[in-house]
Structure 1
Amino acid sequence: MLAMNKFRILGAAVVAVAATVLSSSCNDKRSTGWEYAPNMYEHIAYDPDQKNPNFADGKTAQVPPAGTIPVGFVKFDYPNNKDGYELAGTEVKTMLPQTQNNYAEGKVLYMHFCSPCHGETGQGDGTVVAHGFPPPPSYSKGQSSRGGAMKDLTDGKIYHTITYGVNAMGSYASQLSPEERWKVIMYVHHLQTL
């Protein structure tokens, strides 16, 4: 008799839990159930385009304080003109170690970003030339539009050109980090000897 009462109590408890679950799950069809870590989608931070009462101008996106530099930013204090190009050519030298790994990474970066115009061997015969664009000069035989032979370009001149661009070549500063630019330069120096 005691065992039978236990089964009745257990059965009633199971029915009560099942009824509670069933009735609570059917109330709101839009409910996603229990929330785990709701701050993942209901954040308290302001979005950059929202009004913000914490600032006098009411904007969330504020201009950084003068003189601040973003994390990882490498300053390049040479102006985007011929004088800056010439100065960079004499003063800027790579600090990246000349290792086989850096050379191999430079080759991969060159093939992805530079070879469409400059060609795989740096002769100015990339795929864009086949589509009617003017060819860039050859690294080993051509003449720079800024004067001098392309085979004599220094680290600083190539870095300046990658950073700012020249003629039809745009800047690659947003595509290549400063360290990646040095790796590409390492590979371009190899192409200058071909």
Structure 2
Amino acid sequence: MRINTVFNYLFSLTLAATLVSCGADGDNQGLEYAPNMYHSVPYEPLSQITDEEAGEAAQFLNDTRDGHGEYYNSNPLNAHGMTMRTPAPNTVPRNKNGILPYRIPKDSLEIAAEIASPIDSTMAEAAIKDGKILYGRYCEHCHGAKGEADGLVAEKYPGVANLQGVAYKNITEGHIFHVITWGKGLMGAHGSQVSPEDRWKIAKFVKSIQK
């Protein structure tokens, strides 16, 4: 009987200590059994934690290989320990291929038609080759292999644009890019499905088969 009393006492004491250790109050975060679920190990954008002793107690829980705990996430390779540098004032970000974000509204087709393709003559041949593949993937089922509006979908839904018609012979690559992006008439928008680079390649291919 006495043994049971001692056991119950020890069990209650252990349970109470466990519950108290998990409590958080003010600056005390309590005991965390899985800190990686609460604190990001990778570098945090725009953060500058410069305290090299931060999180030393948690080093054994992760493998940062930088001699610091998981809460120390400043990037030693960037100026001021920043993990992501803020853009310079009055600048517009480009993607990895140097293409600016496309912000021309849907109803501004005439403005879009004046935009020149970023694909110059030195890249045209390769772009047309890629554009043919992309055209077959996204366009041929409606416009047909040669752009004559004789695709399988066009057989069921008349009104698909004939890219070989007189009305379309003189459209620019900027015009084609804009229509792929926003859609027009029966054609739905493909901006979310086709990357800007691939849209320009398709436009280049369409102009090549119109010649």
- Shorter-chain TM-score range: 0.5 to 0.7
The one-letter code matched in structure 2 to 1:136 is V
Contact 1:163 1:171 in 2 (8 A): yes
In the alignment, what sits opposite 2:144? 119
Q: Does residue 78 of the first structure (1) align with residue 104 of the second (2)?
A: yes
Contact 2:128 2:208 in 1 (8 A): no
Q: How does 1:7-46 map to 2 (within 5 A)?
A: 43-44=37-38
Gap runs ≥5 in structure 1: 1-38, 47-66, 143-148
Contact 2:181 2:189 in 1 (8 A): yes
Q: What number of residue pairs does the alignment pair up?
A: 123
The one-letter code matched in structure 2 to 1:118 is H
Measured after TM superposition, the shift of residue 43 of structure 1 is 3.5
TM-score when normalising by structure 1: 0.56
Gap runs ≥5 in structure 2: 1-33, 41-89
State the secondary structure of the residue aligned to 1:180.
helix
- Percent identity for Structure 1 against Structure 2: 31
Cα distance in 2 for residues equivalent to 1:77 and 1:70: 13
Q: Does residue 189 of the first structure (1) align with residue 183 of the second (2)?
A: no
Q: Deviations over 1:85-107 (max 9, x none)?
A: 011112x0101134322111000
TM-score when normalising by structure 2: 0.52
State the secondary structure of the residue aligned to 2:109.
helix
Measured after TM superposition, the shift of residue 155 of structure 1 is 1.5
In the alignment, what sits opposite 1:179? 197
Contact 1:74 1:178 in 2 (8 A): no
State the secondary structure of the residue aligned to 1:169.
coil
Q: Deviations over 1:22-59 (max 9, x none)?
A: xxxxxxxxxxxxxxxxx8xx73369xxxxxxxxxxxxx
